[in-house]
């Protein structure tokens, strides 16, 4: 059963050089689907509460989805999960490229890595299983060179997922890079890999392929899904101009985080930063796709003249442009492309890296980080060379880079002088580049995101009312389409609740958010039809969404078990709660009271205790999560409705 995702796990223990096969039960697959869902279920059992993210007891997991490797459009995604170094709590990241398809073709549905290798190691996975080999001369190398050398060693057609120097040096925002330029970026997942001395996973192409239970039914469902995606209103521009297509428009709307969120727009035209301009300016060399996608929103960019000539890399995405462009007060694209290429090669999350640099710029402008502290750098907003030098120092943990490599929360602890006030983080994770002070669903979603404040757990784009699909969805969720506006508390909890379940399902089946929650082509029923046809397990849209809620709830339980305190952790960064952008005349910060009211409604909708934010035991029972009852509150009722 579960034809397209039979639950084949490769378990690796690097401490004692052991590789074993594990078969997941069909009950587990029914409850958690695959990908992110299977990940959190395994993490619950595998990682004890007293385990530090860098201990050998932490488990690093690579989990393609239920539909990955099939022709389901946009289904090439892989969850990479662990106890996270930024938060000390639950962490999932999602990555595209070819990793997931390669794993499924090699007959692997999940890879779980525990232990710490004595020497830097490479894990080679093929259809026969796996083997551990010395990392040799790849240790210390950047992502490009590492990938080159591993392809020389194992063959041009192998897929490589690796860390760069940043992961080796345990930078708390190091990424795992795959297909050279695709990042499992956030939360320090690359540092977990580095702590295990695992330089890379190499996947040898398999021939077994991926089967589906009912080919005719699947074929029809996939064709219909494709048709819906092609007809989505955001699709053509997403393909042509990528995720950074609207940077200039966001700037005009004053929704573009600028100078460490002190401002909401660059003074000047942001057209150069916008993906729309890159083809004309000659920076776009190629439109690139993840494996199995029909949208192809990734880019390959190159600078062919001037001081940054020779820069060539995958991306940048919107988040990277905002992090190193507007965020650092930089109007030109070329330094942004250089920062993007540098982060890709060091193996750094561009969102956190940019945020850290911005914090350092502001701290330097306030006179707290001096030229001496910065190793001779006169850092200020707009300083492109300073930005690039600082990134190198962080990636190599050189000088002040060693402090900054810990992320803004820990750096502010160390530097002091009230610098927490402009450390734009919550739970230890740097916020992504969304202006949430006027976008209340985003604020709520960021506050409850288990990995910290970003948009990649719950993408509530519908609340802006920018597309017909978004407006219809808000109407479906709240009964009132006039609520498709971002600056109201009303209906926000309902909007967040739907989006977070849908995102969990999307990750579990291995699809991209642009198919379900950041654009809204496919609903739960379309996904259920694909899953049923692919796995042979009949499942309704409602059951699928319940699985999404189960996954989310267990993630919450994992974090509670590992130290989450809802009363102080369910929050947005301080700057969001205390200040409004300096260039905005009206408006209010996302103050604590407003957030608390929305949180209470959100907890209630979840069946969690509205005061403490802890799941009620009755709700855990309803979701089949009785085993997690230790972190819940309320009476232990048996026999609740299932």
Selected from 54, 98, 464, 558, the binder of other proteins by CB under 8 A is 98
Between CA 636 and CA 642, with CA 639 as vertex, the angle to 5 degrees is 110
Does position 343 bind other proteins by CB under 8 A?
A: no
Q: What span, in angstroms and rounded, lies between the C-alpha atoms of 102 and 96?
A: 11
What is the distance in angstroms between the CA of the first residue and the CA of the last residue of the chain? 23
Q: How far is the CB of 154 from other proteins (least distance, A)?
A: 14
Q: How far is the CB of 558 from other proteins (least distance, A)?
A: 33
Q: How far is the CB of 298 from other proteins (least distance, A)?
A: 8
Q: At what angle do helices 440-448 and 492-509 cross, to 10 degrees?
A: 60
Q: At what angle do helices 35-46 and 492-509 cross, to 10 degrees?
A: 90
Selected from 207, 280, 586, 638, the binder of other proteins by CB under 8 A is 207
Q: How far is the CB of 5 from other proteins (least distance, A)?
A: 13
- The 8-class DSSP code of residue 114 comes to E
Q: Which tokens is 206 given?
A: 């398999």
Selected from 58, 289, 441, 515, the binder of other proteins by CB under 8 A is 289
The piece of 286-294, 470-478, 520-528, 597-605 that touches other proteins (CB under 8 A) is 286-294
Does position 469 bind other proteins by CB under 8 A?
A: no
152 burial level (CB within 10 Å; 0-12, 13-18, 19+): exposed
Does position 128 bind other proteins by CB under 8 A?
A: no
Q: How far is the CB of 226 from other proteins (least distance, A)?
A: 7
Which of 476, 615, 639, 638 shows the shortest CA–CA distance to 550? Answer: 615
By CB under 8 A, the count of residues binding other proteins is: 44
Residue 604: its H or E element: helix 592-606
* Neighbouring C-beta atoms of residue 495, cutoff 10 Å: 26
Residue 394: its H or E element: helix 384-395
Does position 71 bind other proteins by CB under 8 A?
A: yes
Handedness of CA 481, 508, 115, 168 (dihedral sign): negative
Which of 448, 430, 466 shows the shortest CA–CA distance to 575? Answer: 430
Does position 49 bind other proteins by CB under 8 A?
A: no
Q: What span, in angstroms and rounded, lies between the C-alpha atoms of 601 and 605?
A: 6
Which of 570, 565, 562 shows the shortest CA–CA distance to 600? Answer: 570
Q: Cα torsion at 344, 347, 353, 357 (round to 10°)?
A: -80
Cβ pair 510, 66 in contact under 8 A: yes
Does position 5 bind other proteins by CB under 8 A?
A: no
Selected from 295, 381, 498, 608, the binder of other proteins by CB under 8 A is 295
Q: How far is the CB of 56 from other proteins (least distance, A)?
A: 32
Residue whose entry in the numeric block shows the structure tokens 């940048």: 316
Does position 239 bind other proteins by CB under 8 A?
A: yes
Handedness of CA 177, 182, 187, 189 (dihedral sign): negative
Selected from 166, 171, 250, 288, the binder of other proteins by CB under 8 A is 288
Q: How far is the CB of 344 from other proteins (least distance, A)?
A: 11
Q: How far is the CB of 287 from other proteins (least distance, A)?
A: 5
The piece of 231-239, 371-379, 433-441, 444-452 that touches other proteins (CB under 8 A) is 231-239
Does position 605 bind other proteins by CB under 8 A?
A: no
Q: Which is nearer to other proteins, 293 or 474 (CB)?
A: 293
Selected from 122, 290, 328, 522, the binder of other proteins by CB under 8 A is 290
Selected from 131, 153, 211, 597, the binder of other proteins by CB under 8 A is 211
Helix (H, G, I), strand (E, B) or coil at 79: strand
Selected from 293, 341, 461, 599, the binder of other proteins by CB under 8 A is 293
Does position 152 bind other proteins by CB under 8 A?
A: no
Which of 264, 234, 238, 261 shows the shortest CA–CA distance to 251? Answer: 264
Q: What span, in angstroms and rounded, lies between the C-alpha atoms of 89 and 394?
A: 23
Does position 212 bind other proteins by CB under 8 A?
A: yes
The piece of 142-150, 185-193, 479-487, 576-584 that touches other proteins (CB under 8 A) is 142-150
Cβ pair 189, 93 in contact under 8 A: yes
Give the per-residue contact string, 553-582, with other proteins (x = CB under 8 A; - = no).
------------------------------
Does position 147 bind other proteins by CB under 8 A?
A: yes
Selected from 26, 230, 597, 600, the binder of other proteins by CB under 8 A is 230
Give the per-residue contact string, 175-194, with other proteins (x = CB under 8 A; - = no).
----xxx-------------
The piece of 143-151, 241-249, 253-261, 615-623 that touches other proteins (CB under 8 A) is 143-151
Q: Which is nearer to other proteins, 233 or 612 (CB)?
A: 233
Q: How far is the CB of 240 from other proteins (least distance, A)?
A: 8
Residue 131: its H or E element: strand 129-134
Chain residues 393-452 in contact with other proteins, contact rule CB under 8 A: none
Q: How far is the CB of 93 from other proteins (least distance, A)?
A: 20
Q: What span, in angstroms and rounded, lies between the C-alpha atoms of 112 and 132?
A: 14
Cβ pair 161, 99 in contact under 8 A: yes
Q: What span, in angstroms and rounded, lies between the C-alpha atoms of 101 and 623?
A: 30
Selected from 155, 236, 307, 375, the binder of other proteins by CB under 8 A is 236
Which of 192, 241, 203, 180 shows the shortest CA–CA distance to 81? Answer: 192
636 burial level (CB within 10 Å; 0-12, 13-18, 19+): exposed
Chain residues 359-378 in contact with other proteins, contact rule CB under 8 A: none
Cβ pair 231, 181 in contact under 8 A: no
Q: How far is the CB of 237 from other proteins (least distance, A)?
A: 11
The piece of 284-292, 318-326, 358-366, 388-396 that touches other proteins (CB under 8 A) is 284-292
Q: Which is nearer to other proteins, 209 or 307 (CB)?
A: 209
The piece of 20-28, 229-237, 267-275, 511-519 that touches other proteins (CB under 8 A) is 229-237
Q: Name every residue whose Cβ is closer than 8 Å to that of residue 372 and which is 6 or more positions away in sequence.
A: none
Does position 316 bind other proteins by CB under 8 A?
A: no
Selected from 18, 21, 286, 592, the binder of other proteins by CB under 8 A is 286
Q: Which residues pair with 284 in a beta bridge?
A: 301
> Which residues in this chain contact other proteins in the complex, by CB under 8 A?
69-71, 73, 98, 101, 105, 144, 147-148, 179-181, 205, 207-212, 215, 219, 223, 226, 230, 235-236, 239, 285-296, 298, 300, 312, 314
């Amino acid at each position: 059963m579960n034809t397209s995702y039979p639950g084949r796990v490769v378990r690796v223990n690097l401490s004692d050089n052991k590789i074993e096969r594990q078969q997941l039960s069909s009950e587990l697959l029914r409850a958690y689907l695959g990908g992110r869902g299977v990940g959190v279920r395994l993490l619950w059992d595998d990682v004890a509460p007293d385990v530090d993210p860098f201990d050998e007891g932490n488990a690093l997991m690579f989990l393609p989805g239920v539909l990955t490797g099939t022709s389901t459009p946009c289904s090439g995604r892989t969850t990479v999960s662990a106890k996270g170094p930024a938060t000390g709590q639950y962490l999932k990241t999602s990555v595209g490229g070819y990793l997931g398809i390669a794993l499924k073709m090699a007959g692997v549905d999940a890879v779980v890595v525990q232990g710490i290798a004595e020497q830097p190691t490479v894990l080679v996975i093929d259809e026969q299983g796996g083997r551990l080999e010395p990392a040799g001369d790849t240790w210390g190398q950047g992502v490009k060179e590492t990938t080159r050398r591993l392809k020389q060693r194992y063959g041009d057609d192998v897929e490589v997922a690796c860390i760069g120097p940043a992961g080796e040096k345990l930078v708390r925002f190091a990424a795992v890079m795959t297909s050279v330029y695709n990042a499992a970026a956030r939360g320090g997942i690359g540092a977990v890999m580095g702590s295990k001395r695992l330089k890379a996973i190499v996947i040898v192409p398999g021939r077994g392929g991926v089967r589906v239970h009912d080919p005719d039914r699947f074929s029809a469902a996939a064709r219909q899904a494709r048709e819906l995606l092609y007809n989505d209103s955001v699709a053509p521009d997403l393909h042509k101009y990528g995720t950074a297509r609207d940077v200039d428009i966001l700037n005009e709307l004053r929704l573009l985080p600028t100078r460490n969120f002190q401002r909401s727009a660059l003074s000047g035209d942001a057209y150069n930063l916008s993906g729309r301009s890159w083809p004309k300016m000659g920076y776009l060399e190629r439109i690139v796709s993840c494996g199995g996608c029909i949208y192809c929103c990734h880019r390959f960019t190159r600078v062919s003249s001037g001081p940054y000539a020779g820069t060539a890399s995958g991306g940048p995405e919107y988040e990277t442009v905002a992090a190193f462009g507007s965020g650092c007060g930089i109007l030109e694209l070329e330094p942004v492309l250089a920062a993007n290429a540098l982060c890709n090669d060091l193996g750094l999350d561009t969102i956190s890296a940019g945020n850290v640099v911005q914090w350092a710029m502001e701290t330097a402008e306030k006179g707290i980080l001096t030229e001496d502290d910065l190793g001779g750098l006169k850092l200020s907003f707009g300083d492109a060379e300073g930005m690039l030098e600082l990134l190198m120092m962080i990636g190599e943990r050189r000088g002040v880079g060693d402090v900054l490599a810990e992320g803004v929360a820990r750096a502010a602890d160390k530097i002091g002088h009230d610098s927490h006030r402009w450390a734009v983080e919550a739970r230890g994770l740097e916020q992504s580049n969304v202006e949430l002070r006027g976008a209340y669903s985003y604020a709520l979603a960021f506050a409850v995101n288990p990995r910290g404040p970003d948009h990649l757990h719950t993408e509530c784009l519908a609340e802006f009312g920018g597309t017909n699909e978004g407006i219809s969805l808000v109407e479906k969720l709240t009964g009132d389409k006039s609520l498709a506006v971002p600056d109201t508390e009303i209906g926000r909890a309902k909007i967040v609740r739907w989006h977070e379940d849908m995102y969990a399902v999307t990750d579990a089946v291995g699809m991209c958010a642009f198919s379900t929650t950041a654009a809204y082509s496919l609903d739960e029923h379309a996904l259920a039809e694909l899953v049923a046809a692919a796995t042979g397990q009949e499942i309704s849209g409602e059951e699928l969404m319940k699985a999404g809620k189960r996954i989310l709830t267990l993630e919450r339980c994992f974090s509670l078990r590992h130290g989450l305190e809802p009363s102080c952790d369910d929050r947005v960064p301080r700057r969001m709660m205390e200040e409004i952008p300096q260039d905005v005349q009206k408006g209010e910060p996302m103050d604590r009271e407003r957030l608390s009211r929305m949180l209470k409604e959100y907890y209630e909708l979840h069946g969690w205790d509205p005061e403490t934010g802890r799941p009620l035991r009755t709700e855990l029972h309803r979701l089949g999560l009785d085993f997690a009852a230790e972190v819940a509150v309320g009476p232990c009722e048996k026999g609740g409705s299932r």
